[in-house]
Structure 1
Amino acid sequence: MNTFPKYETYKNSGIEWLGKIPDSWELTKLGTCLTLVSKKNRADLPLLSITREQGVIERDIEDAESNHNFIPDDLSGYKVLEQGQFGMNKMKAWQGSYGVSKHTGIVSPAYFVFDFAKVIDPIFFNWAIRSKLYVSYFGSASDGVRIGQWDLSKSRMKAIPFLLPSPEEQTAIAHFLDQKTAQIDAAIVIKEQQIALLKERKQILIQQAVTQGLDPTVPMKDSGVEWIEEIPAHWEMKKVKHLFRMIMESSEKNNNHELLSVYTDIGVKPRRELEERGNKASTTDGYWFVKKGDIVVNKLLAWMGAIGLSEYDGVTSPAYDILRPKVEMNGYFYHFLFRSDFCSSELKRHSRGIMDMRLRLYFDKFGLVEVPYPSATEQNKIIDFLNINLIKMDEGIDLIKQQIEKLREYKTTLINSAVTGKIRVTNNAVDVSI
């Protein structure tokens, strides 16, 4: 922010979270900026939604996943929200579910709709009111017994302070933030694409290693399994039930064993972190014992990657299957194999259920899946290779994620600084790259 010019003189706003503001800016209140309106009986207009992430958007009534709220047959009581007006979901204002609309349509009768009572650039207002500073402030103007059911107090909302630069400065700030945030967002998209490419390379590396080995010169043979294709000629194909046996060993009452869970993104981990957040199992009596080296299968989500090798002794839910090796192996070889994208598709095919989120992988089907079985010595070499190379890729992914986080932090700081006058935006600033 030090590269941007500042205003010549500042004054104390008297408000801690605003601090000093430009001398020429007006410190007013939302109540003097907005006028509540309520226009109805326009059921012919499209339905709009007011979201935390995007503000006001057109609602896709065909998308069942994004339409959790009931839509009545009679929409005559819905409020008209016109392009350029400010709309707000008063039950979720503390989350940032409000914004200036780019569309004309109708919203829930429980929402607030406002016209501007002063000369205000709608785009500037949208940037300012949706900044992190204001989103956090709306929480103090909301009441409720439970945080998910807070309701915005109209009187306290009207008292929220708002900064107004001159109309010319408002427009300059709006144009500046439009351009700068677009540049930042474009940079983030590029970095997210880089992460996707690295993750794709990881999957290719894993697939080649666990199905073809490390020596590209060895003779190959048909595995006899379509999703595996060819394997080294000296490898075997074995059914999962010939490699693992299912263990059902119940824990004793009042035990203090480590409670384990299986996650799609990180595999088998202790649930301590979840318990610290209040998501604690009421009891672990009758849970299955898990030994280090067991494969733990979340039957409901195995086809999404919720399967993996346990590095811990502990207990886990009886909803999981515990698989223990029957033959000599490096368990990490099958950890990587079972969690790979190409294997997940096969596990989904063997899962039973009506809908994707209700599919379950039972051992009677999983046990019939044929997988490669190289010698334990070769498995060890493959795992050493994967550990070295995957660590490098993960470090690269983590570095890019840190860069993305810094860009997002910069974007937040830039918006906050521009709409509170901590930096001075001029017409020349709009053309300066980030």
Structure 2
Amino acid sequence: MIHDLAPYPVMKDSGVPWLGPVPEHWDVKSLGSLTTSRSERNRPDLPLLSVVREKGVILRDRESKEENHNFIPDDLSNYKVVHEGDLVINKMKAWQGSMGLAPQDGIVSPAYFVFDFAIENRHYGQALLRSRPYVGFFAQASDGVRIGQWDLSITGMKRIPVMLPPPAEQAAIVRFLDHADRRIRKAIAAKQRLIKLLQEQKQVIIHQAVTRGLDPDVKLKPSGVEWLGDVPEHWGISRLKFESNRIVDCLHATPPYTDDGEFPAIRTADIEPGKVRLAQARRLSKEHYEAWTSRYRPVAGDILYSREGERFGIAATVPENVGLCISQRMMVFNIKKSVSSQYLMWQINCRHVYLQAALDTIGSAAPHVNVERIKNFEIVLPSLNEQQAIVQHIEAETAKLDQAIARAQAEISLLREYRIRLIADVVTGKLDVRQAAARLPEPEQDTLPDELNAGEGEGLEGEEELTGEEE
């Protein structure tokens, strides 16, 4: 269906270089002619809404401490009233796409712009204004001294052209994009299930190696460690603090990140078991790097550990030839030379250590592992030579699994990029979907897992890690 799409038969000049030609029967109006500023206030009884880059306008949980970093005041009488279908824009992040049409009535931060948006189909307006070309338009309409501090100009915003097909065609576009999005999300879901299975297989290999060794006939003994069970009889039991030179907690403050910083500051989102995601890490200037490493500067082979938040209990080793520091919710362990830090890192990622950490987090809305608990993690230790052999075995056995995971992740990225490009081509009139939409069956009931739906957004937008509200 998607591959059979063709351009519209008759086009006209839109008058906008970025958009090029548009279907002849489409109107092109300025955003200013379709919007009226809304300034109602004093409705603290309404639901609290927020704007995030990945989804647009969402319902915000007033009780959640994890949803974003901003304080919610007790008095919400100054918050702006939003009606269903209103256009809400985070003026400081509009250049990143932080805007959307409200799915329901509510209130938002007084720092946001709120407009009554006169468009026939709210879902079409959402897809159009959040498409990639329109993010570029809003960036062009924003100005400031440096990137990251751009403010949306109302004058520039009002000049942004809006593509307006007839109402029936707007509905057809929404129906087509929703159908295409469901197909793409199902393909992504299948690849995510594959990744999960590969990761589980990898975890089995690691757990078997670090808790039982490489000899299938080795004699076993009770470990004395709850959740661990039997271990090779010649192995010893120790605690993390006895095998570490330094166990250093973070500064419990958010570093001043900068886009052009030289040094990565590692957050919980920047590690996965056995791997540091340096490419996505936020950066610090040399001055702030020095401040954030004043207590200890991580070196290659040190173990990075996430001790707070939903991603607690994950460990990875510091790579070679990189200067980094730990951000909030992170710790670093400098391991003694008598122990393989790589072996210890794999063990910390295993279930028996994770369950020790979880003793501090049961029933907590904001998981937090106590430093004293971490220092006393019980670990099982073979000889150094055996540790090194186990590490080599893990690396060899998991290499093909890692390659398969990387391929699936790359395919997911391509599917998401394809979705973004498809939306842009359809809402800007580059592809005619009227006949394709007319042939579509009735929409299927969404059977995707809840966690996938949450991660994949509302269906018509691309998605990234949620950044929350910035005021």
Unaligned segments of structure 1, at least 5 residues: 249-258
Q: Contact between 2:265 and 2:281, CA under 8 Å: does it hold in 1?
A: no
2:123 paired with 1:131: no
Which residue of structure 2 lines up, in the alignment, with residue 360 of structure 1? 371
2:142 paired with 1:142: yes
Q: Contact between 2:303 and 2:341, CA under 8 Å: does it hold in 1?
A: no
The alpha-carbon deviation at position 40 of structure 1 amounts to 3.4
Which residue of structure 2 lines up, in the alignment, with residue 252 of structure 1? none
2:398 paired with 1:390: yes
Question: Comparing 164-173 with 219-228, which one deviates more in the overlay?
Answer: 219-228
Q: Contact between 1:296 and 1:308, CA under 8 Å: does it hold in 2?
A: yes
The alpha-carbon deviation at position 311 of structure 1 amounts to 5.5
Question: Comparing 95-104 with 181-190, which one deviates more in the overlay?
Answer: 181-190
User: SS at the partner of 1:115?
Assistant: strand
**Cα offsets for 1:286-337 (capped at 9, x unmatched):** 8879887xx52457759733453775699989x85532233xx655433322
2:338 paired with 1:337: no
Distance in 1 between residues matched to 2:67 and 2:323, nearest whole Å: 39
Equivalent runs, 1:245-256 vs 2, <5 Å: 246=245
The alpha-carbon deviation at position 111 of structure 1 amounts to 2.8
User: SS at the partner of 1:322?
Assistant: strand
Q: Contact between 2:36 and 2:116, CA under 8 Å: does it hold in 1?
A: yes
Which residue of structure 2 lines up, in the alignment, with residue 212 of structure 1? 212
Q: Contact between 2:26 and 2:164, CA under 8 Å: does it hold in 1?
A: yes
The alpha-carbon deviation at position 422 of structure 1 amounts to 0.8
Q: Contact between 1:299 and 1:360, CA under 8 Å: does it hold in 2?
A: no
Distance in 2 between residues matched to 1:49 and 1:285, nearest whole Å: 35
Which residue of structure 1 lines up, in the alignment, with residue 92 of structure 2? 91
RMSD of aligned Cα (Å): 4.0
The alpha-carbon deviation at position 349 of structure 1 amounts to 6.3
Which residue of structure 2 lines up, in the alignment, with residue 21 of structure 1? 22
Distance in 2 between residues matched to 1:427 and 1:106, nearest whole Å: 39
User: SS at the partner of 2:208?
Assistant: helix
Matched AA of 1:188: I
The alpha-carbon deviation at position 423 of structure 1 amounts to 0.5
Distance in 2 between residues matched to 1:164 and 1:313, nearest whole Å: 51
**Residues 261 and 296 of structure 1, relative CA distance in 2, 3 Å threshold:** farther
User: SS at the partner of 1:228?
Assistant: coil
Distance in 2 between residues matched to 1:380 and 1:422, nearest whole Å: 58
Please, which of 420, 423, 428 is the counterpart of residue 431 of structure 2? 423
Which residue of structure 1 lines up, in the alignment, with residue 65 of structure 2? 64
Which residue of structure 2 lines up, in the alignment, with residue 305 of structure 1? 314
2:201 paired with 1:201: yes
Distance in 1 between residues matched to 2:241 and 2:95, nearest whole Å: 56
The alpha-carbon deviation at position 145 of structure 1 amounts to 3.5
**Residues 287 and 23 of structure 1, relative CA distance in 2, 3 Å threshold:** same
Unaligned segments of structure 2, at least 5 residues: 248-262, 442-471
Distance in 1 between residues matched to 2:276 and 2:149, nearest whole Å: 33
The alpha-carbon deviation at position 405 of structure 1 amounts to 0.3
Q: Contact between 2:95 and 2:135, CA under 8 Å: does it hold in 1?
A: yes
User: SS at the partner of 2:54?
Assistant: coil
**Cα offsets for 1:164-223 (capped at 9, x unmatched):** 112221110011112211322232233223323322322222111111223444443211
Which residue of structure 2 lines up, in the alignment, with residue 253 of structure 1? none
The alpha-carbon deviation at position 130 of structure 1 amounts to 0.8
Using the size of structure 1 for normalisation, the TM-score is 0.79
**Cα offsets for 1:232-251 (capped at 9, x unmatched):** 33x32232579846289xxx
Q: Contact between 1:10 and 1:21, CA under 8 Å: does it hold in 2?
A: yes
Which residue of structure 1 lines up, in the alignment, with residue 191 of structure 2? 191
User: SS at the partner of 1:99?
Assistant: strand
The alpha-carbon deviation at position 411 of structure 1 amounts to 0.4
Q: Contact between 2:302 and 2:341, CA under 8 Å: does it hold in 1?
A: no
Distance in 1 between residues matched to 2:59 and 2:359, nearest whole Å: 37
Distance in 2 between residues matched to 1:74 and 1:291, nearest whole Å: 47
Which residue of structure 1 lines up, in the alignment, with residue 112 of structure 2? 111
Distance in 1 between residues matched to 2:94 and 2:196, nearest whole Å: 34
Q: Contact between 1:261 and 1:268, CA under 8 Å: does it hold in 2?
A: no
Distance in 2 between residues matched to 1:193 and 1:159, nearest whole Å: 45
**Residues 432 and 342 of structure 1, relative CA distance in 2, 3 Å threshold:** farther
Equivalent runs, 1:278-357 vs 2, <5 Å: 278=285, 281-282=289-290, 295-298=301-304, 301=307, 304-306=313-315, 308=317, 320-326=332-338, 332-346=342-356
Q: Contact between 1:300 and 1:360, CA under 8 Å: does it hold in 2?
A: no
Which residue of structure 2 lines up, in the alignment, with residue 265 of structure 1? 272
**Residues 289 and 72 of structure 1, relative CA distance in 2, 3 Å threshold:** closer
User: SS at the partner of 2:402?
Assistant: helix
Matched AA of 1:343: V
Length, aligned pairs only: 411
User: SS at the partner of 2:371?
Assistant: coil
Question: Comparing 374-383 with 55-64, which one deviates more in the overlay?
Answer: 374-383
Distance in 2 between residues matched to 1:420 and 1:350, nearest whole Å: 52
The alpha-carbon deviation at position 361 of structure 1 amounts to 5.9
Distance in 2 between residues matched to 1:246 and 1:409, nearest whole Å: 46
